[in-house]
Amino acid sequence: MFPSIASDVTERKYVSLPWYESLKPALRGGHEVTLLESGAEFFPALESAIAAASDCVYLETYIYNDDPSGRRMTDALAAAAQRGVAVHLIVDGFGTPDDANPWACALREAGVLFETFRPERRRFALDRRRLRRLHRKLAVIDGCIAFVGGINILDDWHDPKHGRLEHPRLDYAVRVRGPLVAQAHVAAARLWWEVHTVNRSLYRGADPGTKGAHTRLPWWVPSEITPAGRVRAALMLRDNLRHRRTIERAYLRAIGRARSEVLLASAYFFPGVRFRRALLAAARRGVRVRLLLQGKVEYRLPHYGAQALYDELLRGGVEIIEYRRSFLHAKVAVVDDWATVGSSNIDPFSLLLAREANVGIHDAGFARQLRARLDAAIDAGGVPIRLQSHQRRPWPVRLMNALAFLVLRIGLALSGVAGRY
C-alpha cells in the first residue's frame, strides 16, 4: 500500500488514526523536510509523488488554472485515477469559480473525485460568510508524504490578471516525510468528506460520479509514521472552529522569543495591533526585524493598505524590503532557528477567516537554508524602503494609503472579526 520513502530505514511504522483525531499542533521529531522554491521545484516533486502513488491522493488548492503547469498536473492526476488510485481534489469556489471548464471535465472523466469548497452562486452577494475560503495548499500521497505551502496550481510565469510575467513568481512549499504526515492525512480526508457531504446535501455542484466507498466517512485513516530524518516539525492548521488562532499564535510566540533575527516574507501584509507590537518589541530589544513584502501592485487594496503601516514600523526600527522583480506570493518566516512555510499571509483574511495550513520547523539547518533563499531573493529583486523616502511619497499615494487602510478596517468591522484584530 505504501511506497518506500527512505532506503536506509529497515523497520517501517504505520498508524490508523480515527477521523476525529485532534489536529492540534504537535511538535515531533523524525521528519525529513525539503524546501521547494516556486513551481520550478514544486511541480516536478508533486508530479513525481503522484506518479508513484498506489492507494490515494488528496489535493487541496485555492487556484487551479488551465496553464502549462496546470495541464501537467491534470495529466498526472488523471493518470493516477485511471490506474485505480483514489484521487481527491478540492478547489475553492472563489479562487477557482468555474468547475465546468475542460480540465475539470477531463479530470471527472478520468475518475478523479472532484469537489468545490463553497461554490460561488452570486458573485457580488454581500454575505460575510463568503470570506471563509479554502486558502490552504495541501497534498497527501498514500498517507506517507505531504506537501504544504503557498503554491497554487498556477504556472510561475503566468498571472490570471496580468498575463505573461517577465520573471517567475516567488513562492515556497515543503515536502514532508515522517510522523506529521498522519495528521495531514486525517485533515485532508476529513475535509474531503465534509465538503462532499455538504455539497450533496445542498445540491450545489457535487459530482454525481463520486459515489461509493471513497466518499464515505473515513472512520480510520491509515498513514505511515516511519521516522525519515531528524527535523522537529508540527502541522499548523487554521479553521473557524477549534483552531482559529493557531498560526497567528505560533508567529507571536516565535517573535516574542526571538534573540537575534526575524525575517518574514508575506505577499499580503496587514497585521493586527498585537502582531505589530510584537515586531516593534523585538526590534526594541535588539533583534533584527526584516519584512519582505509585495512591491509590484497585484491588488491595489492590500498593496496600498500595507503601505499605510510602513511609517509606524520604520520608526520602530523594522526594516522593510519590497520585492519588485516579480510577484511575491511567499508566506514564510525565519525566527532564529524556527521557520514556517505555508499558505497563511499576515492579514485578517488568512489569520481570522480562511482555512490555512503551515508547517512549523524547529531546525537550525532548515532555517539557514530558507534564510539563504530569502536573502538571495532580496539581493535579486528587493528594494529597501527608507523612512525619509517613504515620508516624501507623492500625495496621491498618501491618499491611496489612507483610503485603503479605511476600507480594510471597515471590511474587518463588517466581517465581524475587527474586535479580535
pLDDT in tens, 159-173: 888 889 999 999 999
Write the pLDDT tens digit of every residue in 331-367.
Answer: 999 999 999 999 999 998 888 889 999 999 999 999 9
Spatial neighbors of 248 by CB under 8 A, at least 6 apart, are 238, 275, 351
pLDDT at 186 over 70: yes
* Catalytic annotation, pick one of 31, 88, 137, 196: 137
Task: Output the pLDDT for position 396.
Answer: 93
pLDDT at 241 over 60: yes
pLDDT at 412 over 70: yes
pLDDT at 176 over 60: yes
Q: What is the CA radius of gyration of the chain?
A: 21
pLDDT at 8 over 70: no
* Catalytic annotation, pick one of 31, 185, 303, 329: 329
Task: Output the pLDDT for position 213.
Answer: 44
Helix (H) or strand (E) holding 419: none
Q: How far apart are CA 148 and CA 356, in angstroms?
A: 10
pLDDT at 420 over 60: no
* Catalytic annotation, pick one of 31, 88, 92, 135: 135
Helix (H) or strand (E) holding 67: none
135 as an active site residue: the answer is yes
pLDDT at 419 over 90: no
137 as an active site residue: the answer is yes
How distant, in Å, are the alpha carbons of 80, 291, 297, 307 from that of 302?
Answer: 39, 15, 9, 9
pLDDT at 71 over 70: yes
Average pLDDT of the chain to the nearest whole number: 90
Task: Output the pLDDT for position 212.
Answer: 45
* Catalytic annotation, pick one of 99, 331, 347, 363: 331
Task: Output the pLDDT for position 268.
Answer: 95
375 as an active site residue: the answer is no
* Catalytic annotation, pick one of 55, 66, 75, 336: 336
The CATH number of 14-233 is: 3.30.870.10
Q: Which three cell numbers stand for residue 362?
A: 524547529
Average pLDDT over residues 126-155: 89
pLDDT at 2 over 50: no
233: left (phi over 0), alpha (psi -120 to 50) or beta: beta
Task: Output the pLDDT for position 122.
Answer: 64
The residues facing 33 across adjacent strands are: 176
Short-list 141, 137, 220, CA closest to 181: 141
Task: Output the pLDDT for position 20.
Answer: 86
SS3 category, 411: helix
Task: Output the pLDDT for position 120.
Answer: 78
Ranges of each domain in the chain: 14-233, 246-411
pLDDT at 9 over 60: no
C-beta separation of 162 from 153 below 8 A: no
Using pLDDT thresholds of 50, 70 and 90, give the confidence band for residue 182. very high
Task: Output the pLDDT for position 126.
Answer: 52
Q: How far apart are CA 398 and CA 7, in angstroms?
A: 58
Using pLDDT thresholds of 50, 70 and 90, give the confidence band for residue 409. confident
CATH topology agreement for domains 14-233 and 246-411: yes
C-beta separation of 275 from 353 below 8 A: no
Short-list 167, 156, 187, 151, CA closest to 341: 151
* Catalytic annotation, pick one of 92, 99, 142, 207: 142
Write the pLDDT tens digit of every residue in 368-382.
Answer: 999 999 999 999 999
211 as an active site residue: the answer is no
SS3 category, 99: coil
Task: Output the pLDDT for position 7.
Answer: 41
Write the pLDDT tens digit of every residue in 297-327.
Answer: 888 999 999 999 999 999 999 999 999 999 9
Q: Return the CATH number of 246-411, one of 3.30.460.20, 3.30.870.10, 3.30.1360.120, 3.40.50.720.
A: 3.30.870.10
pTM (2 decimals)? 0.92
Question: What percentage of the chain carries pLDDT values higher than 70?
Answer: 90
Q: How far apart are CA 187 and CA 236, in angstroms?
A: 11
Spatial neighbors of 22 by CB under 8 A, at least 6 apart, are none
Write the pLDDT tens digit of every residue in 33-66.
Answer: 999 999 999 999 999 999 999 999 999 999 999 9
Which of 208-222, 320-334, 400-414 is the most confident on average?
320-334
pLDDT at 267 over 80: yes
Task: Output the pLDDT for position 3.
Answer: 41
Task: Output the pLDDT for position 201.
Answer: 83
Q: How far apart are CA 175 and CA 177, in angstroms?
A: 7
Write the pLDDT tens digit of every residue in 83-103.
Answer: 999 999 999 999 998 766 889
